[in-house]
């Protein structure tokens, strides 16, 4: 263990706000929290885990080295870079010089093979960048409104979440998409989008589980009614139900799919059953 004075542990603890987090569950359990500014640069990096460990020193070094970097720049940091950063800090601060001495005694055989803080940051940023939609998707989603620029939340995603969970609210949207956790300027827009989608889709906000009534039917009854309605639709022959969550119906089959087919089925179900159901049709692989 390398001792880290409390005066140097400035980034220890779970922050109130962060953009993305990643957990490590090995011999020790660690969590890393990364907060990104509106321009995409790393604004803060915090960590949580056992005090008596080799890693708090490396977490603190990483927190200082990564601040102000773009994600791709931060992911190129290495253990050697952090060690150089430590040497710079040790030149100007007695506490950091003591840490450097302790580190040299702790790992005389060399640097750690896997640097947990660097690994957690790399995975967290990869996860973050993988989830965020590119704004070039404006051209692919012309009928939708971009609600959250930081995390690429569109109005259509809110509709999809609402159909699966009629009790959807601001908190649940944030937990699912992280929207609102960046600059937070879109919080009112998210709530307004939820209300608009609920009115447009006719979804009951008092529903809290999957056994609620849709058109007076429980889910099992609704599945049977939908299956019966599909059997009477020539265009839907060959399709079968793969899932029904709330108002969201997923179908699969050996059939050429299109948005217009899903719309036709939605209209037919509404006419035959009286239920507003969002339909997604997937071709069988």
List pLDDT tens digits, range 233-274.
888 888 888 888 767 888 888 777 666 888 889 888 888 888
**Average pLDDT value for the chain:** 78
Confidence of residue 182 (pLDDT cuts 50, 70, 90): low
Nearest Cα to Cα of residue 214 among 239, 260, 242, 249:
249
Burial (CB < 10 A; 0-12, 13-18, 19+), residue 102, is: middle
CATH code, residues 20-130: 3.90.1010.10
Is pLDDT of 116 > 70?
yes
Is pLDDT of 218 > 90?
no
Domain with residues 133-201, CATH architecture: Orthogonal Bundle (1.10)
Per-residue model confidence (pLDDT) at position 65: 92
Per-residue model confidence (pLDDT) at position 228: 87
pLDDT tens figures, 132-175: 444 444 434 445 788 887 777 888 888 888 877 787 888 788 87
CA–centroid distance for 31 within its chain: 16
- Per DSSP (E only), the strands in the chain are 20-25, 29-36, 42-48, 146-148, 153-154, 239-245, 248-253, 278-283
pLDDT tens figures, 74-102: 988 888 888 888 888 878 777 777 777 76
Confidence of residue 69 (pLDDT cuts 50, 70, 90): very high
Nearest-angstrom CA–CA distance, 193 and 145: 9
pTM attached to this predicted model: 0.44
- Contact between residue 266 and residue 181 where contact means Cβ atoms under 8 Å apart: no
Nearest-angstrom CA–CA distance, 156 and 143: 9
Nearest-angstrom CA–CA distance, 282 and 255: 9
Place of tokens 């989830």: 131
> Domain boundaries in the chain?
20-130, 133-201, 219-283
CATH level 3 topology of 219-283: GMP Synthetase; Chain A, domain 3 (3.30.300)
Sheet of 42-48: strand order equals: 20-25, 29-36, 42-48
Rounded average pLDDT over 201-219: 60
Nearest-angstrom CA–CA distance, 134 and 73: 19
Per-residue model confidence (pLDDT) at position 136: 41
């Amino acid at each position: 263990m390398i001792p880290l004075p409390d005066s140097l542990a400035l980034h220890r603890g779970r922050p109130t706000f962060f953009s993305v987090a990643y957990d490590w569950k090995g011999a020790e359990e660690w969590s890393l929290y990364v907060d990104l500014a509106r321009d995409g640069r790393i604004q803060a990096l915090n960590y949580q885990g056992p005090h008596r460990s080799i890693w708090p020193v490396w977490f603190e070094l990483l927190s200082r080295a990564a601040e102000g970097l773009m994600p791709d720049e931060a992911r190129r940091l290495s253990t050697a870079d952090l060690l150089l950063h430590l040497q710079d800090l040790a030149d100007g601060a007695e506490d950091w010089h003591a840490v450097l001495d302790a580190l040299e005694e702790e790992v005389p055989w060399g640097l750690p093979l896997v640097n947990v803080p660097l690994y957690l940051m790399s995975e967290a940023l990869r996860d973050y960048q993988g989830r965020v939609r590119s704004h070039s998707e404006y051209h692919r989603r012309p009928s939708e409104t971009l609600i959250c620029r930081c995390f690429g939340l569109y109005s259509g995603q809110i509709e999809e979440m609402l159909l699966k969970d009629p009790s959807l609210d601001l908190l649940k949207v944030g937990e699912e998409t992280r929207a609102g956790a960046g600059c937070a300027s879109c919080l009112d827009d998210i709530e307004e989008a939820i209300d608009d989608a609920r009115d447009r889709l006719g979804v009951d906000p008092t529903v809290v589980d999957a056994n609620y009534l849709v058109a007076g039917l429980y889910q099992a009854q609704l599945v049977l009614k939908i299956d019966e309605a599909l059997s009477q639709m020539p265009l839907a022959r060959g399709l079968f139900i793969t899932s029904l969550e709330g108002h969201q119906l997923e179908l699969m089959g050996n059939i050429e799919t299109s948005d217009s087919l899903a719309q036709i089925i939605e209209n037919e179900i509404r006419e035959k059953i009286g239920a507003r159901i969002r339909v997604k049709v997937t071709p069988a692989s």
